Chain A
Amino acid sequence: AQSVSQHNHHVILSEAASLELGCNYSYGGTVNLFWYVQYPGQHLQLLLKYFSGDPLVKGIKGFEAEFIKSKFSFNLRKPSVQWSDTAEYFCAVNDAGGGNKLTFGTGTQLKVEL
């Protein structure tokens, strides 16, 4: 079964600092990759996705992620975080099997301090 690892459980940054959140998955075949964000008290929203093509994917709000197939990784980056980026971030993988189910990582809680 597919598994997704997010190694950073809690991250605290100051505004304007750079962000990189790690995500590794286990399945070696064709995958679709996602980063979702959950702001306090809200539902999950899609930040960005990778299906094919350019492994550097740009999403909303200045976020980007790089798919490195050889490392089974899909790390999320942002050059300069803002206080409003405080949220929980989830990496998810769809291994294109039956039902096109997503497997989620355990999430990274990001707190951005002023």
Chain B
Amino acid sequence: NAGVTQTPKFRILKIGQSMTLQCAQDMNHNYMYWYRQDPGMGLKLIYYSVGAGITDKGEVPNGYNVSRSTTEDFPLRLELAAPSQTSVYFCASSYLDRGYNEQFFGPGTRLTVL
């Protein structure tokens, strides 16, 4: 199993540009998550999904959108990039079984908005 994969690894955007961060998992996990990591701030949840077709906002959703059309994929969309969105983005997935919720993380996407 590849686990959780993310593309691209690095990206530089200009202010106002749009892009989609891709995330896929091959573990048949029902739950998927997007986090951003900023220095000294830990990880903040952007959006999450409990299954195909179901998404919900996390702690910091403004400026982002998500969709979950399949179990495997959970792309994150930035519509109008802003410098405040410069961060490292991590996708994670988990399988909810009797309340267990160990999350498995992807390698991250480092995004810079100039």
Binding site for A on B (CB under 8 A): 31, 33, 35, 40-45, 48, 50, 56, 58, 90, 92, 94, 96, 99-108
Contacts and interface: CB of A to CB of B under 8 A. Distances in A.
Interface string A78-107: 000000000000100010101111101111
A104 B43 contact: yes
Contact of A34 (B40, B102, B106): B102
Q: Is the interface of A mostly helix, strand, loop or mixed?
A: mixed
Question: Number of contact residues on A: which range applies?
Answer: 20 to 34
A43 B52 CA distance: 25
Contacts, number: 57
A100 B31 contact: yes
Nearest to A1: B59
Interface stretch (A12-20, A44-52, A67-75): A44-52
B41 A106 contact: yes
Enumerate the 8 nearest inter-chain pairs by beta-carbon distance, A residue then B residue, closest first.
Answer: A100-B101, A104-B42, A106-B42, A44-B105, A104-B43, A43-B105, A43-B107, A94-B101
A7 interface: no
6 contacts: A34-B102, A51-B99, A94-B101, A101-B48, A107-B40, A107-B42
Given A43-B106, A107-B42, A101 B33 contact: yes
Given A90-B43, A99-B56, A106-B41, A42 B107 contact: yes
